[in-house]
């Protein structure tokens, strides 16, 4: 999605980057806290990194981590994370007409990298799906720019949180 160079050539991509950059500090703070919390809850650095890279859902991670630390059964952990992320079903249903022209692989990648604020910015800017291939390409470029900033802010801050979890003072309350 945001790795396609054709998206980066559109001004809409850079508008998406600018829009998401305005909230990137908050996303990064949330990611940093999540990275620290995973390690402080007892996950190894490897487990925390794997969870960050595979799950990419802060609310689900913060729901699952205390359950994992308390020894809850796997089905309880998965059910809780599923419930927390049910909002993405609504997002997906709304985005369906915007992405159905894309190959399955790209639709799956778009779904994976689209976060809450990426969805909100996109839905606000584009209340209707594009009717021409050019309009759809511009919409996808905007969403790609949004998602790129969101993904990079989250991943980098979460990984920094994991790396620095044992160095960050407990009084900061990030654990």
10: left (phi over 0), alpha (psi -120 to 50) or beta: beta
Neighbours of 127 (CB within 10 A): 6
* Tens digit of pLDDT at every position of the chain (175 positions): 556 677 778 889 999 999 999 999 999 999 999 999 999 989 999 999 999 999 888 899 999 999 998 999 999 999 999 999 999 999 999 999 999 999 999 999 999 999 999 999 999 999 999 999 999 999 999 999 999 999 999 999 999 999 999 887 777 665 5
**Paired tokens of 73:** 């059964």
- Dihedral (Cα; 127, 122, 54, 38), 10-degree rounding: -120
Give the residue from 107, 114, 126 showing the smallest Cα distance to 87: 114
CA distance 120 to 89: 14
pLDDT of residue 2: 54
CA distance 168 to 45: 15
pLDDT of residue 151: 95
pLDDT of residue 140: 94
pTM of structure: 0.88
pLDDT of residue 1: 55
């Amino acid at each position: 999605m945001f790795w396609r160079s054709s998206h980066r050539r559109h001004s809409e991509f850079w508008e998406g980057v600018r829009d998401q950059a305005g909230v990137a500090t908050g996303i990064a703070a949330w990611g940093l806290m999540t990275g620290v919390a995973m390690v402080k809850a007892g996950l190894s650095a490897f487990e925390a990194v794997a969870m960050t890279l595979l799950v990419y859902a802060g609310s689900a991670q913060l729901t699952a981590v205390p359950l994992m630390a308390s020894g809850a059964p796997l089905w309880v952990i998965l059910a809780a994370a599923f419930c927390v992320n049910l909002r993405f079903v609504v997002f997906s249903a709304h985005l369906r007409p915007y992405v159905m022209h894309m190959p399955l692989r790209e639709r799956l990648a778009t779904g994976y990298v689209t976060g809450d604020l990426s969805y909100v910015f996109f839905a606000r800017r584009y209340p209707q799906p594009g009717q021409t291939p050019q309009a759809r390409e511009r919409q996808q470029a905007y969403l790609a720019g949004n998602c790129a900033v969101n993904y990079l802010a989250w991943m980098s801050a979460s990984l920094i949180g994991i790396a620095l979890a044992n160095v960050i003072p407990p009084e900061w309350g990030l654990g």
